[in-house]
Amino acid sequence: MTHNLRIVLLKTTHPGNIGATARAMKNMGLTELALVAPKYFPHAEATARCSGAEDILDNVKLVDRLEDAVADCNLILGTSSRNRSLPIPLLDVKEAALVTKKSIQQGSKVAVLFGQERTGLTNEELAICHYHLYIPSNPDFPSLNLAAAVQVIAYEFSCAFGEIFEQEAIVDSQHVTGLDMERFYEHLEETLLGLEFLDADNPRLLMRKLRRLFNRISLERNEMNILRGVLTAVNRRCR
C-alpha cells in the first residue's frame, strides 16, 4: 500500500538531498518518489547519499510540471514553514499522518510536496494543495534540511500507518484526482472569463482564492460531475 503515498520534490537544487531523501524514505518503508524539474538528476552525489536505496532512485517519476506529478493523487499536502497571505488548512505532522492514513484506507492516493531548498513551496505550488503541513520547530530557526524534513514526515507517517502498509486498499477512492481538479479549474476559469467575471488583463488572486476554496472541500466524483454540469450549462448560455 506504500504505492499510495508519493513524496514529491520540486526543483531540488542539491542532488545530495535527493539521495538522502531516497534513503530516508526507504528507512521508513516508503517507495514512491517523484522529482519535478530537479537541477541535477541523475547525479553521482544522489547515488552516494542514498546509501543503498538505489531502487527508489531507479524508479523515480521524473516530470517537468508539478501537475504531472500529482495528476493521479486524491489528496495533496504541501510542506511549508512559512506563513502565507492566503492560508490553507494547517496540519502538524501527527495530524497529517492521521488524515493521510484515513485517506489511504478509503482508497486515495496521497502526495506530499516539498519545495526548493531555499524558498520552499511557492504560493502557486501551495495553491494545488488541500492542506498545508508543517513540522513544529524552533521559531528562531525553523527551516529543516530538505531530507531531514522528509525523514521526520516519513517517520511519523510510518508510525501512524503501521500494518496498513501491508494491506491493499479495499475500496476505490470516491475522491477526485489532481488531474480532475486541474481540468475543473480550466473549465471554471474559461467560464468565468466568458461571464466577464474574471478579467484576463487583471485577474488578481481570483483563481487562487477559488482553488483554496474548492481544494478545502476534497470533492467527490459525483460532486465534480454536478459542478462540471453547472459550468457547461453556464457556458452554453454565454454563447
Contact positions vs its own copies (CB under 8 A): 20, 23-24, 26-29, 51-53, 93-94, 135-138, 141-145, 147-148, 151-152, 155, 158-159
- 63 versus 148: smaller Cβ distance to its own copies: 148
- 8 versus 146: smaller Cβ distance to its own copies: 146
Query: In the complex, what is the shortest distance from the CB of residue 30 to its own copies, in angstroms, rounded to a whole number?
Result: 9
Angle between helices 15-27 and 146-161 (to 10 degrees): 20
- 151 versus 191: smaller Cβ distance to its own copies: 151
- 69 versus 154: smaller Cβ distance to its own copies: 154
Query: In the complex, what is the shortest distance from the CB of residue 27 to its own copies, in angstroms, rounded to a whole number?
Result: 5
Q: Could you tell me the sign of the dihedral formed by the alpha carbons of 144, 67, 46, 6, in that order?
A: positive
- Main-chain phi, psi angles of 35, to 5 degrees: -120, 125
Could you give the CA distance from residue 10 to residue 32 in angstroms, rounded to a whole number? Answer: 14
Query: In the complex, what is the shortest distance from the CB of residue 97 to its own copies, in angstroms, rounded to a whole number?
Result: 12
* Sequence letter at residue 123: N
Could you give the CA distance from residue 72 to residue 109 in angstroms, rounded to a whole number? Answer: 7
- 142 versus 203: smaller Cβ distance to its own copies: 142
Q: Which residues pair with 61 in a beta bridge?
A: 34
Query: In the complex, what is the shortest distance from the CB of residue 164 to its own copies, in angstroms, rounded to a whole number?
Result: 14
* Sequence letter at residue 100: T
- 40 versus 155: smaller Cβ distance to its own copies: 155
Could you give the CA distance from residue 134 to residue 78 in angstroms, rounded to a whole number? Answer: 8
Query: In the complex, what is the shortest distance from the CB of residue 13 to its own copies, in angstroms, rounded to a whole number?
Result: 13
Q: Which residues pair with 36 in a beta bridge?
A: 10, 63
Nearest of 220, 225, 183, 184 to residue 74 by alpha carbon: 220
Query: In the complex, what is the shortest distance from the CB of residue 154 to its own copies, in angstroms, rounded to a whole number?
Result: 9
